[in-house]
Amino acid sequence: MVEINGVTIDFDLTDADNWTKINKAVEKMEEFDKSDQYDESDIAACITHGCQGYELFFDEVFGEGTSDKIFHGKKSLKAHKDAFISITDMAREQMTEAVDFSEVRKRYSADRTQRNDFAKKNSRHHNRNHK
């Protein structure tokens, strides 16, 4: 579960499929930013463009219409950016936990390998001195 601007969304950042969604959404945001034409001298157009990029991300990752629930139709670039940062912070935290899990798994695997080696050396089938 994640909470964004007071909206709780059923989303697991430890699910690999969700990371695929995030990666694809970021790619779409980048494509949108490159392809959309707007008047850069118009501040309102710049803010709207920025908000639309963030909304694209949230709708791609969490489902169509999610950005409306989160932002209530408002075009506050700060609110959009802050919501995006909160998700990236949560994702970074989950990545740290995944690395920690990977370290635990490596330790377990190493311990298991050592135990298996010990068991092999001390089993009847591998101990030539045993009769």
How far is CA 68 from each of CA 21, 41, 61, 75, rounded to the nearest angstrom? 19, 27, 14, 10
Please give the torsion angle defined by the CA atoms of residues 116, 121, 127 and 128, in that order, rounded to the nearest 10 degrees. 130
Dist. CA 23–CA 105, nearest whole Å: 25
For 21, other C-beta atoms within 10 Å of its C-beta total: 16
| pLDDT for residue 129 | 53
Q: How many CA atoms lie within 13 A of 51 on its CB side?
A: 18
pLDDT values of the chain reduced to their tens digit, one per residue, 131 residues: 888 888 888 888 888 898 899 999 999 999 998 887 888 889 999 999 999 999 999 999 999 999 999 999 999 999 999 999 998 888 888 777 766 666 666 666 655 555 566 566 666 555 555 44
Query: How many Cβ atoms from other residues are within 10 Å of residue 55's Cβ?
Result: 20
Query: Is the entire prediction scored with pTM above 0.85?
Result: no
